[in-house]
Each structure stands twice: as C-alpha cells, then as structure tokens.
Structure 1
C-alpha cells in the first residue's frame, strides 16, 4: 500500500491527472464552440446543418456517407479552433520569449576519418625530434 501511495504522489502521475482533467474541460468548450458557432455557420453557407441524412444504396446495403461528412466537418472545426486558440498563440509567445536569445553553438561531431587523422597528428607530434 505504501508503494502504491508513493506511486500516486509522484509528480508525473499528478501532472497527468491534471492534464486529463483540463483536456476534458477544454474538449467540452471546443465542442460547444463548434456546435453553437461553426455548425450554424456551415449551415448558413451550405444550407444544411446536418448531413447525416445523406445516403446511397447498393444491392440493399445503405451507405451513410453523411455521417462521415459530419465527422470530417467536426474534426476540421475542432482542429481549426485548437490551432488558432492554443497552438498559434503559444508559438507566438514562445517566439517572443526567445527573440534576441542566441542559440548555443553546437560542436560538430567528428567523423571517424577526422578522429583518426587527429590521433595520427597527435602521435606524430609526440615522436617529433626536438632540435
């Protein structure tokens, strides 16, 4: 029981639980925005708020492609909202924060040939006669 309690009290588990709760609440907000704003806007443009009635039949099998269209529209709407409400502002904030900071220079990794040549140079320098 003590080990389980330590596991639950780790920062990672608590952070994950908070992230799930915030994500769930954010999903509800985005879903509401899509239903109350974007779906009526699409209905105003295309004349239909719901495409679920669109079907076609082949050999007695009914294909409900309207449901698929609804799902695609919902996905694109949610993705658009998330991009413009979360991703774009966060990228702008990060860009402003890092503006003016010089990234640290990375040392180029030596190739095997360069490493071998360096060893040869060092060996030759050790055995060079002084005089």
Structure 2
C-alpha cells in the first residue's frame, strides 16, 4: 500500500501540479495586494471614494461589505488577464506555428471521419480507418 502511494506521489505531474498550486496561491496574494494597495486607490481617487473595502450597507443589522467583493472582482480580472496574456496567448501562438514539413497541399480528408490527415497516410490518425493512396480513385459503391 505504501509503495503504491510512493509511486503516485513520485509522479512528475503530481509534483508539477503541487508546485503550480503553491505558485498560483502566491501569485494570487501578490495580485490581491496590488489591487488593494495600488489599483483600488487609483480607481477610488477618480470616483472620490478612498477605499473600496470600506463600502458596505446594512439591512436588519447584517452588514454587506460589497467593497471587498469589488476588490475580489478586480483581483480576479487581473489574474485572468495575466494568465491569458502570459500563458494562453503565447501557447496558442506557439501551437499555430506552421510546420515546415506540412502545408495545405500535403493533407486530405479522411473518407470515414472527414478529418484532415497527411496525404501520404495509409491509416487515419483519428478514426484509424484504412485509407487508400491519395491519388487512387475511390472504390465503386456496391
């Protein structure tokens, strides 16, 4: 039982995920501090309110601190923008780089699943059906 647990913990993806969670939490704390200490006061200075975290209203003795919610939304938007512009967008651009070995003329549609496959392929990489040579005429239907 302990051997299986040790193997599970020793996997690279588990360790990578743990590191990502810790770094993500630290990044979240930095962004929250940035929002609370710099961005919120700038926005509040324009609107005339010194700090969003002081904004609240009371109903029947219950206080609703909507200013903290505004700070949390701003923090979320900044974190989402940072992840998008620093991780997602560069990754999409990297994946869209044209491969030197392939071009539009080097692919064709699989007759079974209509996925685009290399014209030299003998088997579809998506549905695994056997496909004939690209230049061969289709077999007559019976």
User: TM-score w.r.t. structure 2 length?
Assistant: 0.54
- What is the Cα deviation at residue 99 of structure 1? 6.0
| Matched residue SS, 1:98 | coil
Computing the radius of gyration over CA atoms, which structure comes out larger, 1 or 2?
Answer: 1
Relative distance call for 1:2 and 1:82 in structure 2 (3 A) is closer
Q: 5+ residue gaps in structure 2?
A: 114-138
| Matched residue SS, 1:57 | strand
Give me the whole-angstrom Cα distance separating, in 2, the residues matched to 1:87 and 1:94: 11
Aligned to 2:87: 86
Q: How does 1:31-110 map to 2 (within 5 A)?
A: 31-35=32-36, 37-48=38-49, 50-95=51-96, 97-98=97-98, 101-102=102-103, 104-109=107-112
Q: 5+ residue gaps in structure 1?
A: 111-117, 122-131
Higher relative contact order (CA closer than 8 Å, sequence separation 6+): 1
User: TM-score w.r.t. structure 1 length?
Assistant: 0.57
Aligned positions, number: 113
- What is the Cα deviation at residue 83 of structure 1? 2.0
After TM superposition, the structure 1 stretch with the greater mean CA deviation from structure 2, 99-108 or 84-93, is 99-108
**Displaced runs of 4+ in structure 1, greater than 6 A?**
none
Deviation readout 1:49-84 (Å, 9 max, x if unpaired): 521222223344333222222222221222222222
Give me the whole-angstrom Cα distance separating, in 2, the residues matched to 1:64 and 1:73: 15
Contact 2:52/2:68 (<8 A) preserved: yes
Task: Name the one with the larger helix percent.
Answer: 1
Give me the whole-angstrom Cα distance separating, in 1, the residues matched to 2:13 and 2:76: 30
